[in-house]
Amino acid sequence: MSVYTTLTLKEVQDFAAPYGLEAIDLIPIQGGIQNTNYFLVCEDKQYVLTVFEDMDEQAAGELVPVLEHLGDVGVAVPVPLSHSGKAIHSMKNKPAQIAPRLMGEHPMPSTLEQAEAIAVAQAQMHVALQDFPLERNFVRDHAYWYAVAREIKPTLNDADKALLSKLLGLYEALTAVYPDRPKGFIHSDLFRDNTLFDGNQLNGILDFYELNKDEFLFDIAITLNDFCTEYPSVELNEAKAVAFLNAYETVRPLTHDEKSCLELYLAMAAGRFWMMRLQVAQKNAAEGRTGGDILQKNPDEMRNMLIERLKFVTA
């Protein structure tokens, strides 16, 4: 949610008018890395205006029925507004949308009860979207991340090349032994800064732009890593992790093979985001993206987490 596309209040007022909204202020949002987001302030309510930086209208629009479906089954998500029969319109030749602003705070750090709440919501999403009729051109499954790793590997130092090779080798070995790992649509980016809480009450899940058909276990590992880690330390809080998993299984029990691969997937999830952060840093450098409105997360945080998680993985 960095700001890559600069907008004026007049431009936004013109864009918002067909939705029946009268914008009186515009506030840039920092805190993410892919799309441009602003708080759109109206007289009695606030909204979020999103400009999609790397998606076309079709790809951005694919998410709308997903959010509508999740809203219908009771998951707290921001369902985009529509006018003229669709939710996605164009701003500065890029797809854009307006959605209600969900109120709350990112849990920094999370409580045990918040970890339980997000686990239940994540399991509800997995069940609701397992057979959802959607095919996305935007694919970031294991094949995609393996390609990213191959692309970035030559830029790493020798120690990091060895670390990455060890991770991928363990993945190939263990996943062949434990194949019963169910797939469906997953959030893929369900970190604490993509959630909003009022105390221990979950008020919203944000940023579905990484929605992808992949293993549920990857989604679990991504979220468990973040909600159950006591930053700046990268060690896992065992009590939170146990509570997270127990809460998740009240909705969707894990298979035996998922449980057998969990520790590996905690390492693999850290490895994926290590690669992603390195990829974003390289892209920002290549495109000259700089300034106070551009957030660039530290790749070393995920690298250090990967090293920590690998201590508990055996082939």
Q: Domain-by-domain residue ranges, the chain?
A: 9-100, 112-310
Say yes or no to pLDDT of 17 above 70: yes
Mean pLDDT computed over 304-312: 94
Mean pLDDT computed over every residue of the chain? 91
| Residue 185 pLDDT grade (very low, low, confident, very high; cuts 50, 70, 90) | very high
Q: Confirm or reject CATH 2.40.50.140 for domain 112-310, answering yes or no.
A: no
Per-residue model confidence (pLDDT) at position 83: 95
- Per-residue pLDDT of 137-180, as tens digits, reads 667 888 888 888 888 999 999 999 999 999 999 999 999 999 99
Say yes or no to pLDDT of 296 above 70: no
Report yes or no on whether pTM surpasses 0.75.
yes
Per-residue model confidence (pLDDT) at position 252: 98
- Structure-token match 């055996």, residue found: 314
For CA atoms 281, 283, 285, 290, the dihedral sign is: negative
Q: Which residue has the higher pLDDT, 133 or 294?
A: 133
Q: Which CATH number fits domain 9-100: 3.20.20.120, 1.10.3470.10, 3.30.200.20, 3.30.870.10?
A: 3.30.200.20
- Per-residue pLDDT of 224-251, as tens digits, reads 999 999 999 999 999 999 999 999 999 9
